[in-house]
C-alpha cells in the first residue's frame, strides 16, 4: 500500500535534521589561538557538540538553527589552564589550621564545589589539583566529569609523603598524643623505597592522575624548615620508576636547591615553586626537560600575610617572610634561561578565582604577555600530555574558549576580567 506524502510530517523531519546539525558560531573580534605568536582579527570559530570543528577568517553567515555568539569586541583564546591548585581549601590564617578539627570531609567536599565554580568562571577550564585530604580532589574531579557540579576539568594528584614531609604528613605540629593516635591512619607516609613504592601503587588504585611528592619542606606546614630535603635520591627514584610503571608522572613541590636536584635527577616531571633554584639546577632542568610551575601568586600572598601579626602560626611566619618574596625573581631567571614553564598559582593559598593575577606577575618578571598566555594554554596542555585535546583553538580540540574585553597583549590585567567561558561546548559565562 502506498503511504501518501504528508507535508507536515516531512517538514518536521526536515526541521529535526536541521536542528540535529545546528552549530554554534563564535564571532571573535580577535583570536589568540594558543599556538601562534600573533593574534588574528575577525575569525569565526565553529563548535559542534563538545568540539571545535572549524576556523574561518571573517564572520560566517549563520543558517537556520545555528547559535551565534557575538564576541567581536573581545579577544577569544583557549580555555585557561592552571597547573597547581588546591580546590578543597583556601588559606584563612590560623583559623584554617584549626578547621580540620571540626570540619568533616563532607563539609570540605561541599565547600570545594564553590571554589571549583569560582575557578571555572574566572576562565580556567582545566586544572591540575595538586593534593587534598581524604582523596577529595578525586571525588570532585569525578563529580564535575559526571555533571553533578560545575567546575574545571580536573587532573588530580595522589600524594606520597615521608615522615614529617610537607606533602602527606598532616600530623606535623600536633601534640604527641594526637600524632601517636593518627600515625596508623596516615597511609600517605612511608620511608624507604619499598614503602614508597607501595604507596604509589595504592595511589594508582585510588585513581590518581599523577603523583605529588615534596622533595623539600614547605611554607605552610607546621614544621621548621621550608628547604630541607625530605627524600633520599633512592626514595625519589623508587617513586618515579613505580609511577612510570603505571603511566603516571610525578610532580615535586620543592623550595630548597638540594631537594630540587635530587628530584630532577630522579626524573620528576615538574618542579613546583622552585624558590631557591640555583643556576646549576636551572641547567639540570633544561638538560632533563623538567617543567617548572612557579606559583608566584602563592609567594606574593604569603609574603604579604607574613607582615600581619598573628595571621600565621609562629613556626610558619618566618618561612613565609623569607620564601615568598623570592619566587618571582626565580621565575624571571628560569624564563630568561629557557626552562620550560607552565602556568600555575597554588590557589588555595591565595583565593580561588584570583588565578589570573599570575599573568600580571609573570609579565612583571619579564615574560611577554603572549608567552604568559601560552604558558596557560599550549604549554599547560603539553605538561598534561593532552595537547591533542586541549590548549589551542584548532579543529578537533575540545571547545574550551574564554574571552576578555579588549586586548590583553596591550594590557595583561584584562586577563582578570574574563567575560565569556565555554567548556566542552557548554557556556558557563556570557
Structural domains of the chain in order of their starting residue, each with its CATH number: 19-78+393-429 (2.30.40.10), 80-383 (3.20.20.140)
Pairing relationship of beta strands 401-405 and 420-423 according to DSSP bridges = antiparallel
Nearest to 80 by CA among 374, 389, 426: 374
| CA–CA distances in Å: residue 139 to residues 5, 49, 113, 223 | 54, 26, 11, 29
- How many other CB atoms sit within 10 Å of the CB of residue 355? 31
- When pLDDT is cut at 50, 70 and 90, the band that residue 400 belongs to is very high
CB atoms within 10 A of CB 37: 9
Which is more confidently placed, 180 or 427? Answer: 427
pLDDT at 205 over 70: yes
Q: Using 50, 70 and 90 to split pLDDT, how confident is the model at 1?
A: very low
More confident residue, 22 or 87: 87
The stretch 87-105 carries a mean pLDDT of: 84
What confidence score (pLDDT) does residue 102 get? 83
What is the chain's mean pLDDT, rounded?
A: 91
Q: In this structure, what are the phi and psi dihedrals at residue 195, rounded to the nearest 5 degrees?
A: -65, -40
Per-residue model confidence as pLDDT tens digits over 114-160: 999 999 999 999 999 999 989 999 999 999 999 999 999 999 999 99
Q: Return the pLDDT at 178.
A: 62
Task: Give the lowest-confidence range in 12-21, 24-33, 293-302.
Answer: 12-21
In the predicted model, is pLDDT for residue 397 greater than 80? yes
Half-sphere exposure of 342 toward its Cβ, with a 13 Å CA cutoff?
A: 31
Q: Is the pLDDT of residue 226 over 70?
A: no
Task: Say what the pTM is.
Answer: 0.91
Helix (H) / strand (E) containing 72: strand 67-78
Strand 40-48, strand 291-293: pairing = unpaired
> Is the model's pLDDT at 187 over the cut of 90?
no
Please determine, for residue 98, whether its predicted confidence score (pLDDT) is greater than 90.
no
Task: Report the range of poorest mean pLDDT among 23-27, 82-86, 320-324, 358-362.
Answer: 320-324
- Nearest CA to 76 out of 117, 5, 24 is that of 24
Predicted pLDDT at 315? 87
What confidence tens digit (pLDDT) does each residue in 238-288 have?
999 999 999 999 999 999 999 999 999 999 999 999 999 999 999 999 999
Amino acid at each position: 500500500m502506498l503511504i501518501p506524502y504528508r507535508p507536515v510530517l516531512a517538514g518536521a523531519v526536515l526541521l529535526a535534521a536541521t536542528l540535529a546539525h545546528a552549530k554554534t558560531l563564535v564571532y571573535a573580534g580577535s583570536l589568540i589561538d594558543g599556538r601562534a605568536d600573533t593574534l588574528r582579527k575577525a575569525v569565526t570559530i565553529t563548535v559542534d557538540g563538545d568540539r571545535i570543528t572549524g576556523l574561518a577568517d571573517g564572520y560566517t553567515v549563520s543558517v537556520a538553527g545555528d547559535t551565534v555568539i557575538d564576541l567581536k569586541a573581545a579577544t577569544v583564546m583557549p580555555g585557561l589552564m592552571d597547573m597547581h591548585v588546591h580546590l578543597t581549601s583556601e588559606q584563612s590564617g590560623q583559623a584554617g589550621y584549626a578547621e580540620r578539627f571540626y570540619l568533616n570531609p563532607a563539609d570540605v567536599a561541599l565547600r570545594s564545589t564553590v571554589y571549583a565554580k569560582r575557578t571555572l568562571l574566572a576562565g580556567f577550564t582545566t586544572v591540575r589539583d595538586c593534593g587534598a585530604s581524604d582523596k577529595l580532589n578525586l571525588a570532585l574531579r569525578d563529580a564535575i566529569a559526571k555533571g553533578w557540579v560545575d567546575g574545571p576539568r580536573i587532573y588530580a594528584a595522589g600524594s606520597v609523603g615521608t615522615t614529617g614531609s610537607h606533602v602527606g604528613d598532616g600530623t606535623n605540629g600536633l601534640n604527641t598524643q594526637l600524632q601517636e593516635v593518627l600515625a596508623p591512619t596516615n597511609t600517605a607516609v612511608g620511608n624507604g623505597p619499598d614503602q614508597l613504592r607501595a604507596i604509589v601503587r595504592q595511589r594508582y588504585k585510588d585513581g590518581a592522575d599523577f603523583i605529588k611528592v615534596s622533595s623539600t619542606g614547605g611554607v605552610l606546614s607546621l614544621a621548621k624548615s621550608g628547604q630541607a630535603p625530605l627524600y633520599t635520591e633512592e626514595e625519589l627514584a623508587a617513586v618515579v620508576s613505580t609511577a612510570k610503571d603505571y603511566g603516571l608522572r610525578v610532580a615535586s613541590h620543592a623550595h630548597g636547591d638540594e631537594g630540587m636536584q635530587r628530584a630532577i635527577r630522579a626524573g620528576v616531571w615538574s618542579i613546583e615553586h622552585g624558590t631557591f633554584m640555583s643556576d646549576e639546577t636551572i641547567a639540570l632542568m633544561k638538560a632533563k626537560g623538567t617543567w617548572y610551575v612557579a606559583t608566584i601568586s602563592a609567594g606574593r600572598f604569603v609574603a604579604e600575610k607574613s607582615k600581619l601579626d598573628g595571621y600565621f602560626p609562629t613556626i610558619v611566619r618566618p618561612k613565609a617572610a623569607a620564601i615568598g618574596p623570592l619566587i618571582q625573581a626565580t621565575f624571571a631567571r628560569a624564563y630568561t634561561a629557557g626552562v620550560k614553564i607552565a602556568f600555575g598559582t597554588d590557589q588555595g593559598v591565595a583565593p580561588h578565582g584570583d588565578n589570573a593575577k599570575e599573568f600580571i606577575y609573570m609579565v612583571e618578571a619579564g615574560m611577554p604577555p603572549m608567552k604568559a598566555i601560552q604558558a596557560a594554554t599550549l604549554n599547560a596542555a603539553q605538561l598534561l600530555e593532552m595537547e591533542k585535546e586541549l590548549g589551542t583553538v584548532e579543529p578537533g580540540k575540545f571547545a574550551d574558549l574564554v574571552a576578555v574585553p579588549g586586548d590583553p597583549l596591550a594590557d595583561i590585567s584584562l586577563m582578570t576580567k574574563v567575560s565569556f567561558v565555554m567548556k566542552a561546548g557548554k557556556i558557563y559565562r556570557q
